[in-house]
Structure 1
Amino acid sequence: MRVLVAALSVIGLLTASCGGSAPPAESSSTESPSVAPGGPTAKADKAGDDAAAAGAMVVTYEEATTPEAIAGRDLLKNNQVLEDMADDVNQTLALPHDVPLLGVQCDEANAYWDPTAQTVTICYEDAANSERIFTEAGDPDPAASAINAEWATFFHEVGHMAVTLYDLPITGREEDVADQLAAYILLTPGDDGKADPESVQSVKDFARVFGASENSEVTADDMADVHSLDQQRVYNLECWIYGSDPEANGDLVTDGQLPEDRADGCADEWQQLDKAWSTLLDPYFRN
């Protein structure tokens, strides 16, 4: 899957798919990538310039000891998921310094961007939890669905990364903005004017993970959280899927997944989202 490269080539930007911020307990690494510390947040004057594109996303899989973490690590590592994710970013975004992409045992289903260490972490348990959800849902290939969801999770964290590395001006909650970035990358149409079906399915599977939440009672802590409620995130993602191509995704409305009152404004929501992220990221794509 080369979703970022494919999406951005269409809109003329190139010539040629989340949790809290607290990091997990430290664990020993099986690989030691060479990371060039970025120091204070770096903002490229024009990230396409060679001097501003000195960095790369570098993958490390850390140790796993619990059955759930081992299952998640094997799913990611055996399918070279993190390597493909890093390659997608490295072909597309000009990074001011190396950014580690870490597979980690977190003892919880999570993923996060650490703005201090400037690392992206995908927790093994997140992948394992997604595979469990899709297995229970009766998916014919739960592993493929879980990988789809992890691509969207990754691009959500790339949204946080971009806000930090490029000092992007945003309005609204950053978690919502990061969801928008994941949708923007995965739903942008290709050369034929249509989004890649696998990428669209990634957003759908991402939404399905939130839809599987068993939290039946919304608490004050839930309302105060930096994330929107899980069901709100489901409707947002479905709205952007529908709005990006109402003709192709009309089943979301006819099947009753997306309320018609929300669907009426989704094309406009998508246009706003598309314009915002295209404008924000334009200076930072590789030439």
Structure 2
Amino acid sequence: MIPAYGDAQSPEAMYGRTLLQGDQLLEDLADNINRRLKLPYDIWLRGSQCDEANAIWNGSANTITICYEGVTLDRRIFTEAGDPDPRRSALNSEYAKFYHEVAHMAISLYRLPITGPEEDAADQLAAYILLTPGDDGHVDPESVQAMKDLARTLGATESRPGQLGEEDSTDVHSLDQVRMYNLQCWIYGSNPEANADLVTDGQLPEGRASGCRKEWEQLEQAWSPLLEPHFK
């Protein structure tokens, strides 16, 4: 995977580009993939001005694009929420979004079978990659926090009651609030003791939390045999 930063012209894009470059996030993300996955050919990881907040896997161009505007929007969301370190939380959210696109990439490159909508499968696979212990038997705490911050971003951008329209209901993505609770459930289910704060802080309802360990085990059993042959 080869990182590259494209030009930025709008204020939103220039600010997002500055955040990404200052943290060398694209370089770190590309290095993570190069160390972990067997890629059949080069994949570009591009930072780009997209004129929208987004992240995209393009199988025809073999490219994952991180839109600068998304980083800027995340920073604004966490700033307005009073986050103690909105820059770090915004970069964490983009980190997790990247792995959602990596999941799309893996489904495409390795011809992984899925049942159900691909966007839901990509959320599952991103969670599996980020929340599964490494060779040392430990889960990377930064990866866990990245998933938590992505869930917080989804919670902040959800459509408000009474504002849901046909476009929301027919989108290929599940509603942001549904995705938020799914991510929180899998984080909690992967290690209930370490992530008990999701329940005690009132983020994840106890009624959903009670089944999250089982949800995680099912997710793990489904994705482990599919992705394992493609790890280095």
Q: Same fold (TM over 0.5)?
A: yes
Are 1:219 and 2:146 matched, yes or no? no
Per the alignment, residue 205 of structure 2 pairs with 259
**Deviation of the 1:263 alpha carbon:** 1.1
Question: Secondary structure at the residue paired with 2:2?
Answer: strand
Aligned partner of 1:154 in structure 2 is 98
Question: Does 1:247 find its partner at 2:193?
Answer: yes
**Which residue pairs with 2:220 in the alignment?**
274
Name whichever of 251-260 and 141-150 sits farther off.
251-260
Q: Secondary structure of the equivalent of 1:113?
A: strand
Q: Which amino acid aligns with 2:7?
A: E
Shift of 1:92: 1.3
Runs of 4+ in 1 over 6 A off after TM superposition: none
Letter in 2 for 1:245: N
**Which residue matches 2:29?**
85
**Equivalent residue for 1:238?**
184
- Deviation (angstroms), 1:141: 1.5
| Cα RMSD for the two superposed structures | 1.4
> Is 1:94 paired with 2:63?
no
Which residue is equivalent to 1:163? 107
Structure 2 counterpart of 1:168, one-letter code: L
How far residue 83 of structure 1 moved from its aligned partner, in angstroms, is 0.6
- Aligned counterparts, 1:110-189, within 5 A: 110-189=54-133
Q: Deviations over 1:17-47 (max 9, x none)?
A: xxxxxxxxxxxxxxxxxxxxxxxxxxxxxxx
Q: CA offset at residue 258 of structure 1?
A: 1.2
Q: Indicate how the Cα distance of structure 1 residues 277 and 141 shifts in structure 2: closer, same or farther if over 3 A, else same.
A: same
Per-residue CA deviation, residues 78-105 of structure 1 (Å, 9 max, x unaligned), is 2110011001101111111111111000
Q: How many percent identity over aligned positions?
A: 64
Cα deviation, residue 284, structure 1: 1.2
1:110 maps to amino acid: N
Paired residue type of 1:155? Y
Shift of 1:230: 0.4
TM-score by structure 1 length?
0.77
Shift of 1:212: 0.7
Give 3-state SS (helix, strand or coil) of 1:212's partner: helix
Q: Aligned with 1:261: secondary structure?
A: helix
RCO comparison, higher one (Cα < 8 Å, 6+) = 1
Q: Partner of 2:203: helix, strand, or coil?
A: coil
Shift of 1:195: 2.5
Amino acid in the other structure paired with 1:58: I
Q: CA deviation at 1:194?
A: 4.5
Contact 2:75 2:87 in 1 (8 A): yes
In 1: Cα distance, 2:180 partner to 2:140 partner: 20
AA matched with 1:260: E
Aligned-partner Cα distance in 1 for 2:36–2:201: 36
Structure with greater helix share of residues: 2
TM-score normalized with structure 2 length? 0.95
Structure whose alpha-carbon radius of gyration is higher: 1
> Aligned pair in 2 of structure 1 residues 176, 111: CA closer, same or farther (>3 Å)?
same
Q: Is residue 77–residue 153 contact of structure 2 (8 Å, CA) maintained in 1?
A: yes
